[in-house]
A and B are shown apart, each in its own frame.
Chain A
Amino acid sequence: MEQFRITEHPILEVPELEMIGFYFNGKYLEARKGEMISSALIANGIDVFGHHHKDASAQGIFCANGQCAKCTVIANGVAVKSCMTEVRENMIVQSAEGLPVLPEDVEPIEFHPLKELACDVLIIGGGPAGISAAIELGKQGIETLLIDDKNRLGGKLVLQTHKFFGSEEDSRAGTRGHHIGEILAKELSTYWYVCTWLNSTALFVFSDQKVGILKDGIYRLVSPKRILNAAGAREKFLKFPGNKLARIYGAGAFQTLVNRDLVRPTRRLFIIGGGNVGLIAAYHALQAGIEVVGLAEAMPSCGGYKVHADKLQRFGVPIYTSHSIQSANGDETVESITIVQVNDKFEPVDGTQKSFACDTILIAVGLDSLSEFTLEAEAAGIPVDSAGDALEIAEASSAMFNGKIAGLKIAKAIKGDSVEDIPQSWYAKAEVLKAHPGAIKSYQDIDENKESVFPVIHCLQEIPCNPCTTVCPTKSINTEDGSLMALPRYTGKCIGCGKCLLICPGLAITLVDYRKDRDNPTVTIAYEIMNMAVKTGDQRELCDIEAKSLGSFEVTQVQDFPKQQMQLVRFRVPAAIAKQVAGFRVQEQSVSAAMERTVIIEQTPDDAMICLCERVTVGQVRQLIRKGINDLNQIKAITRAGMGPCGAKTCEVLIKSLLREEGIPVTDVVPNTKRPVFIEVPLAKFPDGGEA
């Protein structure tokens, strides 16, 4: 039977698969040993895991992170979250149809005393910020407990197959994210004072200054003197008709499935949101051999880095700016998407609808800092700091740096003056690293009559990134004013080594070489989607920075750089277009063709779900808002929005946006009261601190 697995990947190592057998709804299937049930099902082409008890609509993977319960299945008789439960040999898995039946297991339970421990610092979250902070605390000899809910350190770095922006010195720019995660984890392991708990989820910071943690399925209480919240962020969702269909989820879930679990959850993907998260997800999809039908962004331009957006368009993924999703169409799962142009007030412009056939829609419309642990610690009176996305949404390069600052700051608070002062320059650097993209400028004017070989830098938007300047052996690339944010410019003396091409995370440098032929120079382009192979002799459509076609040309050479997991692809082109060439198309144009007939479904925006867990519609909440209710607690009491398994993690933001739409100022809105526990946990976990 066909398995939807990624068997070759240009960047990630695909391990030998050890297969085991299990059953889904009576059917024998194969799973990879050690994988989660959800990934085993997806690998077997199953994307509907059950049907909701309220409206019998299909449910499947959503967060892939244990936060919601949409992926619930019945495994050996017990309702479990399939994304957090490992598949076992001969496991009997059934789809969750309606409310699960509690197993009739009445054996008495033996209880062990609950284990408690104390530490100086508890760091919640082992991503770039948490590890960086832990390293600083480790250096200072401070007893630190670092917890992470995954089975390895690195947080979202683990999922990042692209090279990082930033500077080499401060944030390992030019190195791939998943390698940075490994490097950081290795460095951390040399500090004995830092204890790391993997598979450990913080459930709540209680008023008696104890933190409840579920470690490897066993409940423990930890009393820290200080807490660092480095728990990251959560993705925002959108309210649109059809948003309850299975196969609509966030970019984080997608990256987990594709880059961690190496399964292929989709053949044809459409992405909503042109921030870096959406742009990178599209790139990851291409690397995983998935067709990216298109990407829509409501703003007039993408919020993510221009080099990312340009790169995608050159590869053949259309980006629809000033477009929003009108509806997801399908019976149980996504079958197509309808997008619509929006005006400057973000209102849909009728008649501009376009539909595309796709089987999955990713929602990548921004992140919200995960603030609950900070608020809980404050309420409990435990000194607390935040770092990384939990502090402020920014790139991982920034998270590493402000994690380092937070670690040192906490060390200083504990040990006083014996800890060195944090240099003022660090704060300035932290500011730069988290900076949003700046001005877009024009190409540098290079006189090709005077140069025989030179780089063309297609990086025209100010972003905090400079590895091209540090890698150049002749120091011929420098930013305009020497700062990290300014644009890199070529200043002469190129030797044609190609190092800048290989290190640029945006694949935004080409090399024009006139040394062999004055009329038909060679243009070199960096490439890293080797699953879509390019060979010498192939005809490829070359394009300029914004994907405008420059005609078809023959590949003259493909040079492998295994260490960098890159290729340099060469073409000979007429001198007139040499400087314009920025890349070549890899995805067929037919992939992104719109459907002949636009799909308009009968649902209105009020039919969209605002709370997926409890199946509450936008219309139900809008009606209450119009009755004058602006208290999320009261909306919850009446509709149950926010009372489901995810704990208002998805709907709170949507309800707030609806209140804004209805003209209620944010300051008047009464937020939800946050209560334990962070994720749902079986009752039997709490009394017992014994070994499972």
Chain B
Amino acid sequence: MKNYDVIIIGAGSIGVPTAMYLAEKKMKVLVLDGEHGPGQQNNKKAIGGIRATHSDFGKISVCLRSIEILKNWQEERGDDIGWMSNGYSYPAYNKEDADTLKALMKIQLGFGLNIKWLSPEEYNEIVPGINMDGLLGSTYSEEDGSCSPLLTSSSLYFHALKAGVEFHFQEQVTGFETQGNRIMKVLTTRDSYSCSMVVNAAGNHARDIGMLLGLDIPVFPDNHEAGITEPVARFFGPMVIDMRKEPGSANFYFYQNNEGQVVFCITPDPAILGIDNRSTSEFLPLCSKRMLKVYPRLRYLKVRRTWRGQYPMTPDGFPIVGRIQEVENMIQGVGMCGQGFMLGPGMGELISRICTDSLSSDDQRILQSFDPYRDFSGEEKFK
């Protein structure tokens, strides 16, 4: 009988770093995933932005740690993952948005984040040629950044392997053998394994995994489409997020990655629930129109590829992370709401500390934001 300290369900943005950190703490770890390789569901569909400028202590802290890990990754771990401290910006074209952003900035500054307000002219310097018509200014958080989700997830995977993690791909979890409120064994399409702990990092399938244990984990995927252009010489700095709602879309954002390619994404409104990875005819006309309105300079940039993926959403837009009462040796690491990539490294470390019962008081405070038993009626303002 194969026995592990921890079995992690899902080799995605949370599962892989969690596995790596646990194995580096000498735990015996098995990661199960139905896909052919690591990060093949939504991890690889991330556009690569990483910001700490969220609105609450939990996400801010985890992402600050992610930034620290990724920024130093090449130096510490040797692999180039294309990190750039290119910053995030939220330009405001109406007073309401400007007020919301400025109010939020106060909170962010209170948490010690480096964020400032730029005048339209200052903003035009870092995003040359941005539509100045009606522009009231923009936030700018220069320590936020980006790196390649593909290179990052590959590097994490190889470091996890090096630390001794076992990965079983094309192997799905079909059930659990329990005794009282403990999982004794994880049953899969191929085998069964006994273990001391189970981490649910199943992304889109978090709720399905919960159901195998009679749990109702409120994670509901909705669809987003993204695209990438040809590479061109660097011409603007930060991630640009236009938070205005327009018919068909709630917001959209784009940035120029370390290869020189512009990556862009839109949030459909109303949300399109479910899992459907096929591309629609609506995305390109809708998103390109919005992009060209705020940034006409993009007109000649050639679109190379588009794709569709999901945000595993929770009702309030915050992740669900922590131990649960119903199953004493299961830990949730789910509902990343489309921010799995940026939360991943910090979150993986945090979950590894949950597994090893070594949480600090700050960790405890962070986990309050992600408490599986919280009242989900709130709403993340700054998704």
Evaluate whether A207 and B233 lie within 8 angstroms (CB atoms) in the complex, with A212-B284, A629-B37, A637-B39 already known: no
Question: Complex formed: what's the CA distance from A108 to B131 in Å?
Answer: 8
Q: Mark A66-91, 1 if CB is under 8 A from B, else 0.
A: 00010000000011000000000000
A677 close to B37 (CB less than 8 A): no
A99 with B231: CB separation less than 8 A: yes
**Looking at chain B's contact residues, is the secondary structure mostly helix, strand, loop, or mixed?**
mixed
The verdict on A683 contacting B229 (CB below 8 Å), with A103-B300, A207-B278, A675-B279 known, is yes
The residue from A105, A207, A219 contacting B300, defined by CB atoms under 8 A apart: A105
- Are A680 and B230 also in contact (CB < 8 A) when A206-B280, A633-B37, A687-B289 are? yes
In angstroms, how far is the closest chain A Cβ from the Cβ of B163? 16
Please measure, in the bound complex, the distance between the C-alpha atom of A204 and the C-alpha atom of B306, giving whole angstroms. Answer: 11
Per-residue A-contact encoding for B284-310, CB less than 8 Å = 1, 0 else: 111011011100111111111111000
Contact with B along A49-63 (1 / 0, CB 8 A): 000010000000000
Which of the residues A101, A210, A633, A647 comes within 8 Å of B232, measured between beta carbons?
A: A101
B274 at the interface (CB under 8 A from A): no
Contact between A637 and B230, CB atoms less than 8 A apart? no
Q: Which of A187-213 contact B (CB under 8 A)?
A: 204, 206-208, 210, 212
Bound Cα distance from A645 to B260, whole angstroms: 13
Closest residue of B by beta carbon distance from A633: B40
Do A102 and B301 touch across chains, with their CB atoms under 8 A apart?
A: yes
Given known contacts A104-B129, A633-B40, A684 and B299 CB-to-CB distance under 8 angstroms: yes
Contact B299 A109 (CB under 8 A): yes
Is the CB–CB distance between A676 and B285 below 8 Å? no
- The chain A residue sitting closest to B40, CB to CB, is A633
- Taken residue by residue from 334 to 368, chain B's Cβ proximity to chain A (1 for < 8 Å, 0 otherwise) reads as 00000000000000000000000000000000000
Size of the B side of the interface (Cβ < 8 Å), in residues, is 47
Q: Is B25 an interface residue (CB 8 A)?
A: no
Q: Mark B301-321, 1 if CB is under 8 A from A, else 0.
A: 111111100000000000000
Give chain A residues whose Cβ lies under 8 Å from the Cβ of B297.
102-106
> Nearest chain-A residue to B133 (Cβ)?
A108
By a CB distance below 8 angstroms, the chain B residues around A219 are: 285
Contacts of A670 in B (CB 8 A): 36-37
Q: Give the chain A neighbours of B39 by CB distance below 8 A.
A: 637
The answer to whether A532 has its CB under 8 Å from any CB of chain B is no
Q: In this assembly, does A634 line the interface, its C-beta being within 8 Å of a C-beta of chain B?
A: yes
Which residues from chain B contact A108 at a C-beta distance below 8 Å? 131, 133, 293, 296
Interchain CA distance A339-B229 in the complex, whole Å: 39
Question: CB of A111 within 8 A of chain B?
Answer: yes
> Which residue in A106, A111, A634 is a CB contact (below 8 Å) of B37?
A634
* Chain B min CB distance to A642 (Å): 10
**A686 part of interface (Cβ distance < 8 Å):** yes
Per-residue CB contact flags for chain B residues 33-59 toward chain A (1 = under 8 Å, else 0) read: 000111110001000000000000000
CB distance from A506 to the nearest CB of B (A): 44
Question: Does A380 belong to the interface (CB within 8 Å)?
Answer: yes
Are B279 and A206 in touch, CB under 8 angstroms? yes
Compute how far the CA of A647 lies from the CA of B230 in the bound complex, rounded to whole angstroms: 11
Q: Are B151's CB and A637's CB within 8 A?
A: yes
Is A107 in contact with B285, judged by CB distance below 8 angstroms?
A: no
B47 to A: closest C-beta gap in Å: 14
Give A279 Cβ to nearest chain B Cβ, in Å. Answer: 36
Dominant secondary structure at the A interface:
loop
Question: How far, in whole Å, are A25 and B141 apart by their CA atoms in the complex?
Answer: 41
Cβ of A201 to closest chain B Cβ, rounded Å: 13
Q: Does A439 contact B (CB under 8 A)?
A: no
Is there contact, CB below 8 Å, between B285 and A686? Answer: yes
Least distance between A539 CB and chain B CB atoms (Å):
57
Q: Which of A633, A637, A643, A680 has the largest number of chain B CB atoms within 10 A?
A: A637
Contact pattern, A 672-692, Cβ under 8 Å of B = 1, otherwise 0: 000111001111101100000
Interface residues of B in 152-202 (CB under 8 A from A): 153-154
Complex-state Cα separation, A680 to B229, whole angstroms: 8
Complex-state Cα separation, A411 to B37, whole angstroms: 44
Q: Is A114 an interface residue (CB 8 A)?
A: yes
Say if the beta carbon of B111 comes within 8 Å of chain A.
Answer: no
Closest to A204 in B: B279
Asked whether, in the complex, the Cβ of A100 is within 8 Å of the Cβ of B292, the reply is no
The reply to whether the CB of A551 lies closer than 8 angstroms to some CB of chain B is no
Does A501 interact with chain B (Cβ within 8 Å)? no
Q: Which of B279, B280, B286, B302 interacts with A682 by CB under 8 Å?
A: B302
| CB neighbours of B235 from chain A (8 A) | 101-102
Contact B230 A380 (CB under 8 A): no
- Bound Cα distance A78, B279 (Å): 29
* The residue from B233, B289, B302 contacting A99, defined by CB atoms under 8 A apart: B233
Q: Once the chains are docked, how many angstroms separate the CA of A670 from the CA of B289?
A: 35
Complex interface: chain B residues within 8 A of A208 (CB):
280-282
Q: How far is the CA of A330 from the CA of B282 in the complex (A)?
A: 48
A379 within 8 A of B: yes
Q: Of the candidates B131, B286, B299, which one forms a contact with A105 in the assembled complex, judged by CB atoms under 8 Å apart?
A: B299
Query: Which residues of the partner chain A approach B153 to less than 8 Å between Cβ atoms?
Result: 637
Indicate which residue in A102, A109, A637, A684 contacts B233 across the interface (CB closer than 8 Å): A102
Complex contacts, B278 vs chain A, CB 8 Å: 206-207, 379-380
Residue of A nearest to B297 (CB): A106
Q: Any chain B CB within 8 A of the CB of A495? A: no
A98 at the interface (CB under 8 A from B): yes
> In angstroms, how far is the closest chain B Cβ from the Cβ of A559?
55
Residues of B within 8 Å of A457, CB to CB, are: none
Q: Is B150 interfacial (CB 8 A cutoff)? A: yes
Binary contact readout A363-406 vs B (1 if CB under 8 angstroms, 0 otherwise): 00000000000000001100000000000000000000000000
* Residues of chain B contacted by A600 (CB below 8 angstroms): none
List, in ascending order, chain A residues with CB within 8 A of B131's CB.
106, 108
Is A569 an interface residue when CB atoms closer than 8 A count as contact?
no
Complex-state Cα separation, A512 to B230, whole angstroms: 63
Tell me whether A221 is interfacial, beta carbon within 8 Å.
Answer: yes
Q: How far is the CA of A472 from the CA of B289 in the complex (A)?
A: 65
Q: How far is the CA of A102 from the CA of B203 in the complex (A)?
A: 38
Q: Please name all residues of chain B whose beta carbon is closer than 8 Å to the beta carbon of A14 when the two chains form the complex.
A: none
A104 to chain B, nearest CB (A): 6
* A638 x B301 contact (CB < 8 A): no
Chain B residue nearest to A669 (CB atoms) is: B36
Closest B residue to A107 using CB positions: B296
CB of A631 closer than 8 Å to a CB of B: yes
Residue of A nearest to B282 (CB): A208
Q: Is the CB of A100 within 8 A of B36?
A: no
> Which residue of B281, B286, B305 has the most chain A CB atoms within 10 A of its CB atom?
B281
B276 CB-CB contact with A under 8 Å: yes
Taken together as a complex, chains A and B put the C-alpha atoms of A4 and B128 apart, in Å, by 43
Pair A633/B298 contact, Cβ less than 8 Å: no
Q: Is the CB of A683 within 8 A of B291?
A: yes
Chain A neighbourhood of B37, CB < 8 A: 629, 631, 633-634, 670
By beta carbon, the residue of chain A nearest B262 is A683
Once A638-B154, A687-B289 are accepted as A-B contacts, the answer to whether A102 and B232 lie under 8 Å apart by CB is yes
Q: Tell me which residues across on chain B come within 8 A of A103, comparing CB atoms.
A: 297, 300
User: Does B128 contact A645, Cβ atoms closer than 8 Å?
Assistant: no
Complex Cα distance, B264 from A683, in Å, reads 11
B266-284 vs A, CB cutoff 8 Å, 1 = contact: the mask equals 0000000000101111101
In the complex where A99-B260, A114-B285, A684-B300 touch, is A676 in contact with B292 (Cβ < 8 A)? no
> Are B306 and A634 neighbours in the complex by a CB distance under 8 Å?
no
Contact A680 B151 (CB under 8 A): no
In the complex the two chains form, what is the Cα distance from A306 to B134 in whole Å? 72
Interface set, chain B 98-148, CB cutoff 8 A to A = 128-129, 131, 133
User: Would A631 and B232 count as touching, CB distance under 8 A?
Assistant: no
Q: Which residue of A lies closest to B236 (CB)?
A: A102
Assess the B285–A106 pair: CB atoms within 8 A. no
Contacting A109 at CB < 8 Å: which of B44, B129, B279, B296? B296
Q: What are 6 A-B pairs at a CB distance below 8 A?
A: A102-B298, A109-B292, A221-B281, A633-B44, A637-B39, A670-B36
Other 5 A-B pairs with CB < 8 A, given A221-B281, A677-B304: A104-B297, A206-B280, A212-B281, A682-B303, A684-B292
The 9 A-B pairs of least Cβ separation, nearest first, read A207-B278, A687-B289, A684-B299, A637-B150, A680-B302, A206-B281, A686-B288, A210-B281, A106-B129
